[in-house]
Structure formats: C-alpha cells, structure tokens
Amino acid sequence: MKGMTAASPRPQTMAEKILTHRGTQTVYAGDLAVVEVDQVMVVDSIAQSFIERMQRDLNATPKYPERVSIVIDHVAPASTVSVAQAQKEAREYAARTGVRLFDVGRGICHQVLMEEGLARPGWIVLGSDSHSTTYGAVAAFGSGMGATDIALAAASGKTWLKVPDSVKVTFTGELRSGVSAKDVALEMIRRLGADGATYQSIEMHAGDRFTRGERMTLANLCVEAGAKAGLVVPGGEILTAYGYDVPAWVYPDEGATYVQAIEIDLTALNPRMSAPSEVDNVHDVADLREQLRDTPVDQVFIGTCTNGRIEDLHEAANVLRGHRVAPGTRLLVIPASSEVMEQAMADGTLLILQRAGAVLGTPGCGPCMGRHQGVLAPGEVCVSTSNRNFIGRMGDKDARIYLASPAVAAATAVMGRVSLPADVAAL
Amino acid sequence: MPRIWKFGDSVNTDDILPGKFAPFMAGEDVFQTFAFHYIRPEFAAAVAPGDVLIGGRNWGLGSSREYAPQALKKLRIGAIVAPSFARIHYRNLLNLGIPAFEYDLTGLLQDGDEVSLDVNTGVLTYGGGTVQLPPPPEFLREALAEGSILAFFKKYGRFPGESA
C-alpha cells in the first residue's frame, strides 16, 4: 500500500480517496460529497426517461457531451415497435447532442465502456444500470443510479453522494482448477448477504491475482450485496496490460477505517451456485447436484455483464469441446461485445460452441432480464451465468433460475442437469 | 381512509415492476398496472391513492430502474415504510418525491389496516395509537423541502449541500 498523501491528513479508504480527488474537500465516510463525474452511461431501457428529464424537466443539454455514452444493449435488436421507437429516439438524441452512441450489436454497456477506455483508475463513472459497480475492476468508482440522477449528472457534470463506509475483503491463497472468479463473487455475496453492504463500498484486496475480466466479475456482483461501489485495489495486469495510468493516490491508506473485514481463502473454495430466488442463496454445486439429480435443466445461458467475456467463453468451450448439449436442454451463448465475438470467432471458440449445439445471439444483455430472446416458460429450470435469479426475472414467475460460473453452466448443458466439469470429463 | 399493504423482506425491483413491463415495452400509459404483477396481482387495480406500503428488510433491492418507483407514484401511493431500503431504490424514491421512512412496522400493523399518515411530520395514526416515524436523513431535507431533488436543482442550479 502507498503512504498517505497531503490530501489525506488521516488514513482513507479507496472510496474516500476517489471522492476526495473528484470533489472539493477531503471527505470521509458519512460526509456529503458533490463530485465531478468522468463518465455517465445511459442504457436503452431508460433512454426515453433520460431524454424527457433532460429536455422537459431540466431544459438542459449534456454539459460535457464527451462524458456521456448511450448504449443500446438491453433489448438489442428491438423486439417490438415501441422498443424500436425508443431506440430511434435515443439515436436521434445522440446525433443531436454529440454524446457517444454504441448501437445494437456493439455489446453490453459495462463491457463496452471498459473496452473503449471510458472507465479508468480513479474515475467516477455513473451508469443507469445497477451493475455499474463493474467499473471498480479498474479502481473506478462505478455506481448505478436511476434516470433522474443520471440526467442531473449529464446536465451538471456532477453528482452528489454520501461517502460510503467500506467493507474490506481480502483474498488469500490461489484458486484451484475448475473454480473461477464467479465462484469467488458468489462466496463473497454469501458471506455478506444481500443487504450486507447496503450504502457501503466493498474494497477488494486481491494483490496481483485476477485478470481485468475476472475483476469485472467480482466488482459486478458487489451490487448484489447492496453495495454502492465495488473497488478492486489495482494489481496484476491492470498495471501492465492495458496502458492505464494508475495514480499512486488511488490506493487505500494503511490504517483506513473499515466497518467490516472478511477474508476469503481461495484455496478452499469449491464451485458455487445461487439457488432460486435470491442471489445470496448460495450453495456448493456438489450439494445442489445431488438435490437436483432428477431435475432436468431446460435452458443454460452463458453471457451477460457478469460472465460474457472471452475468458468466460473459453472456460465454457473447454468443457464443451467434443461434446453435445443434452437432448431437451437448450444452450444460449451471447458474447458480451462485438470485440469478444470477434476474438471468439478468430480463435475458434465459436466453432466449438456451435458444434456442441449452442445457439448464438447478438452481443448484448440477452435474456437476463426477461425482455426478449429466450424467456422461460412456467416450470422451466435455467442455469445462467448472470447475476440475478429473482422470481419472474427471465420469464414466467414459476420458472427457476440458478446462477453459476461458465464452466458449471457448460457442464450442466452437456449433462442436462446441474453438473460439475469433472462429470463431463468422466464421460 | 388509506389502508396498509403489507409485504415481506427483500421485495426487489422485479417484484415491484417486472422488467418486461417497463414503460418502453408495456406502454407509458399502462405500465403501472403491472406493479407487483407476480407477487400481488390484485394490487394495481385495488390500491387507492394515499395507501401505505409496509415492507420488511432491504426493500427495493435489485435494478436501478426508476420506472419501478414511478409505477408506484402513478398509482399515487402515500408512502413506503420499511426497516431498510436498498440504496439505488431509496435514492430513486426520494428523487421522485415518494416518502420513504426507515422503520419497522411489520410487527405492529396488518394487511388492510386503516391508517392516516402525515408525511411531513412522520406521524402515523392507526387503530391502536400513533407512531412517530423517523424523518429522512438531514442532508436530504433541503431537497425534499422543494418537493424533489430535480425541483431543487432546477430552482438553484446546484445540488443540496453544494456551495452556490
């Protein structure tokens, strides 16, 4: 850890550091901070509300158009005329005001912003999607807000925040083969509970462990413990592979105050799975496999902002190579972005998935929130790499959703019931 | 007289308004008729203006979608009282001017109980007496005095707590 700076007379957490840097005074947990916002992200599903707030309610245009991005990803391509109309208005608004537009097929908002370098260490990034905590993967204070807050941020270039208390999570040991960042994130949610970090920031101390993609998975799920932000202390490839400028001040101070500290031993971790219908209902996959051995799985979905990246597709392809999806089970794979899709195409991953019987979709959010492409019928069971298993989330209220890693999802697709990669290897 | 609608712990934004009934999908004029569509299908047709929703822990967890509280606003609910709220949703409620009180009434009131609530003072009167609900955090009151944060920003061109 770096030492204290002149701006921090008493030790600060990462969240306190970032909100101090982008604000006007040194702040600590509990303070009210008005801060500059480096990037405001708007998704298609709130674009209409956003435009209405900007034009009708505030009579304003974006103060810094280059700091605003609209991403059409939640229902892409459009499924109905009203959706198409809303997306048309979003395109016209972007053209009129000069804000960035990422249109149908470019990919999921969080993935796209990371790929485009629109989230960087020490930045404040607000998104109109709760999983905007994802930007914490690169030590950006990412937080989700509603249409009104997002419009105010676009109009003023600022937002107001109560500086959060922080929970310190320290990872020790190394992951065993077959265990992934998704399992770590689900274990963290299990330990904290679905409201264990409400109003708080989760500060993750991972050393040089984890790729950027894995850090995105960890930060993404922090909101499922209620967190305002999920910050991973920079390390590993964040320092070397992407050309980020990682300022020394962004590191938490020695002696900073945390409301809670937990330690997760990665060596001891087994694959995890969230059972219906709350994300913190986390179990050992081996236990659920026993309980559900007579329960056919109707749909497996690999994708979303949690697990639709190239390393996730590789993880799935490693299990699926040379196998076929079980009769009666559908496997849907949707790459998180056009870049991910291109990589997966170039390195042969898509061919492995296609030959295994996967159905491929347009880069975007896909069926994660039950608006199009692959909604579930009453009584159906789905294993998904996404981040929510709420009642009715992906279709009918009597459908059941289990959340797991790409490897476990892929094994489940081959076996037709909840399974571990080792089950496929033993075939 | 307003009545109580009682819910349990962890009512999420998909419970409040399922994603597939978002205004841009279901229609701007009718989306509120799908409030609590799966967990309490009779709600939207039967709720009356001023009715008070009582929830358990972590009310509003899940999505940032503001159209979940917007649906409740369109149905003109009086207030939501729960021992704890999820952060994004709490902010959305206050931004829209929906009174949200952090207090546990689940042991005191039952579904269908008649109450009256003064949202300015937080005094709730029911058959058995009165309860003083805690006011919102102090730093939000400046904004709420103008009706909403949007209204505050429009009037002053700055955020509450920000120097002019």
CB contact under 8 A, B25 and A397: no
**Residue B39 CB coordination number (10 Å):** 17
Name the percent of chain B in helix, strand, coil, to the closest 5: 30, 20, 50
- Could you please report the per-residue DSSP string of A87-132? HHHHHHHHHHHT-EEE-TTSB-HHHHHHHTT-S-TT-EEEESSGGG
**Residue B112 CB coordination number (10 Å):** 9
**Residue A10 CB coordination number (10 Å):** 12
Per-residue pLDDT of chain B (164 residues), as tens digits, is 999 999 999 999 999 999 989 999 999 999 999 999 999 999 999 999 999 999 999 999 999 999 999 999 999 999 999 999 999 999 999 888 898 999 999 999 999 999 999 988 899 999 999 999 998 776 677 777 887 788 888 899 888 878 77
- Do A209 and A236 contact (CB within 8 A), yes or no? yes
User: Which DSSP symbol is given to A75?
Assistant: T
| Residue B23 touches chain A, beta carbons under 8 Å | yes
Mutation test of the interface with chain B: which of A19, A45, A167, choosing the one with the most B Cβ atoms within 10 A? A45
Contacts of B37 in chain A (CB under 8 A): 392
Cα gap B34→B13, rounded to integer Å = 12
CB contact under 8 A, A144 and B88: yes
How far the first Cα of chain B sits from its last, in Å, is 43
Q: Quote the pLDDT of residue B142.
A: 78
Contacts of A79 in chain B (CB under 8 A): 25
Residue A406 is encoded by which pair of tokens?
């790409």
- Closest-approach residue (CA) in chain A for B68: A146
**Residue A261 CB coordination number (10 Å):** 12
CB contact under 8 A, B159 and A159: yes
Distance from CA of A266 to the nearest CA of B (A): 27
CB-nearest to B84 from A145, A195, A397 is A195
Q: Quote the pLDDT of residue B97.
A: 84
CB contact under 8 A, A146 and B88: yes
- Do A327 and A294 contact (CB within 8 A), yes or no? no
CB contact under 8 A, B24 and A86: yes
CB-nearest to A130 from B64, B95, B163 is B64
CB contact under 8 A, A156 and B19: no
Cα gap B69→B84, rounded to integer Å = 16
Nearest 5°: CA angle at A177, between A173 and A182?
Answer: 75
Contacts of B149 in chain A (CB under 8 A): 148-149, 152
| Residue B128 touches chain A, beta carbons under 8 Å | no
β A32-36/A158-162 pair status? antiparallel
User: Which DSSP symbol is given to A321?
Assistant: T
Cα gap A398→A379, rounded to integer Å = 5
Contacts of A162 in chain B (CB under 8 A): 137, 139
Cα gap A275→B60, rounded to integer Å = 20
User: Which DSSP symbol is given to B85?
Assistant: B
CB contact under 8 A, B150 and A148: yes
CB contact under 8 A, A392 and B84: no
CB contact under 8 A, A194 and B58: yes
Cα gap A299→A374, rounded to integer Å = 8
Distance from CA of B45 to the nearest CA of A (A): 20
Burial of A79 (0-12, 13-18, 19+ CB in 10 A): middle
- Closest-approach residue (CA) in chain A for B26: A82
Strand partners for A124? A141
Distance from CA of A86 to the nearest CA of B (A): 7
| Residue B32 touches chain A, beta carbons under 8 Å | no
Mean pLDDT, contiguous 10-residue spans, chain A (427 residues): 56 98 96 96 96 95 98 96 96 98 98 98 98 98 96 96 96 96 98 96 98 98 97 98 98 98 98 97 98 98 98 98 98 98 98 98 96 95 97 95 98 98 95
Mutation test of the interface with chain A: which of B13, B30, B39, B63, choosing the one with the most A Cβ atoms within 10 A? B63
User: Which DSSP symbol is given to A292?
Assistant: T
Q: ipTM, 2 decimals?
A: 0.92
Contacts of B10 in chain A (CB under 8 A): 194-195, 278
Distance from CA of A380 to the nearest CA of B (A): 16
User: Which DSSP symbol is given to B133?
Assistant: P
Contacts of B150 in chain A (CB under 8 A): 53, 57-58, 148, 152
Cα gap B94→B85, rounded to integer Å = 12
Distance from CA of A249 to the nearest CA of B (A): 24
CB contact under 8 A, A129 and B64: yes
Q: Quote the pLDDT of residue A2.
A: 44
CB-nearest to B38 from A58, A152, A392 is A392
Contacts of B148 in chain A (CB under 8 A): 148
Would you say the C-alpha torsion A72, A73, A78, A83 has a positive or negative sign? negative
* Identity of the amino acid at A415: M
Cα gap B151→A92, rounded to integer Å = 27
Cα gap A409→A183, rounded to integer Å = 12
User: Which DSSP symbol is given to B88?
Assistant: H
| Residue A83 touches chain B, beta carbons under 8 Å | yes
Angle between helix A406-415 and A310-320 (nearest 10): 30
Cα gap A179→A272, rounded to integer Å = 9
